[in-house]
Structure 1
Amino acid sequence: MKEVTSISISSRLRKLLAYATATDRINKEYKAYIQEANRKLYAWQEDGQFVGCIGISFINTYECEIKHIAVLPEERGKHIGRQMIQFVLHHHALKRITAETDIEAVDFYRKFGFTIISLGEKYPGVERFQCVYEKNN
């Protein structure tokens, strides 16, 4: 895993973030990762190429929220997403991680051990879910 700190966004990283946020928000979100002290963006590399990324926002010293997580479609199923969460969890000695997601990603978080809570229809026709992972001591 590599922390992303470059002022300019690479085309590969832009492509990854497009899987995790609206295309018109990529530049704004990337800028926040680079400029805000409570946010970090990490990239997973295979053969020197970015194939996954995870962006987090710290709530406090022991808790963060996953803002973005993405793996290239051709690399999915290789546990890269799981390994990125494990990296963040251990690298920052976190006790709690949260994420908000849609129905398509609920099983990914559930398999990791997150508790899933429905937030209901947050947007017209779109049910959202709060995912919470509490590390056992």
Structure 2
Amino acid sequence: MIRITSKIISPSVRELLSYATSEAKIDQEYEQYAQASNRILYGFENAGTMVGCIGVEFLNASDCEIKHIAVSPTERGNGIGSKMVQFICEKHSLRNIFAETDKDAVDFYRKFRFKIISLGEKYPGVERFFCEYEIPNK
């Protein structure tokens, strides 16, 4: 895992973020990672190619929210998403990790043992879910 700090978004990171947010918001979201001191974007490389990314926002010293998580479609199902979440758990002294997601991604969080709460239809025809993971004591 590498911390992505470049002021200019690379094509591979742009593509990954397109899986996690709308095309119209990519530049705005990337700018927040570059500017905000409480946001960090990490990349996951495989054989020198960026195949995953995870962006988090620290809410305080012990809690963070996953703002974006994405894995290249050709690499999905290989445990990369889980490795990125595990990295966040190990790298930072966290107590809780939160995320909000849709029906397509909620099973990923369920498999990682996040508690899932339906938020209902936040947008017409789109059910959203609040996910919470309490990190076990070490």
Q: Same fold (TM over 0.5)?
A: yes
- After superposing on structure 2, the runs of 4+ consecutive aligned residues of structure 1 that deviate more than 4 Å are none
Deviations 1:73-112 (A, max 9, x none): 0000110000000001110111100000001111100000
Deviations 1:40-88 (A, max 9, x none): 0000001111000000000001100000000000000110000000001
> Within 2, Cα distance between the matches of 1:51 and 1:135?
25
Q: How far did 1:135 drift?
A: 1.1
Structure 2 unaligned residues grouped into runs of 5+: none
- What is the TM-score normalised by the length of structure 2? 0.98
Aligned to 1:12: 12
Aligned to 1:26: 26
> Within 2, Cα distance between the matches of 1:100 and 1:19?
15
**Which residue type is aligned with residue 34 of structure 1?**
A
> Aligned ranges for residues 1-137 of structure 1 at < 5 Å?
1-137=1-137
Deviations 1:21-54 (A, max 9, x none): 0001000000100110000000000111100000
Q: What SS does the aligned partner of 1:7 have?
A: coil
Q: What SS does the aligned partner of 1:43 have?
A: strand
> Within 2, Cα distance between the matches of 1:124 and 1:3?
36
Deviations 1:113-133 (A, max 9, x none): 100000011001110000000
Structure 1 unaligned residues grouped into runs of 5+: none
Residue correspondences, number? 137
> Within 2, Cα distance between the matches of 1:108 and 1:13?
21
- What is the TM-score normalised by the length of structure 1? 0.99
> Within 2, Cα distance between the matches of 1:80 and 1:127?
25
**Which residue type is aligned with residue 100 of structure 2?**
E
Across the aligned residues of Structure 1 and Structure 2, the Cα RMSD in angstroms comes to 0.5
**Which residue type is aligned with residue 113 of structure 2?**
G
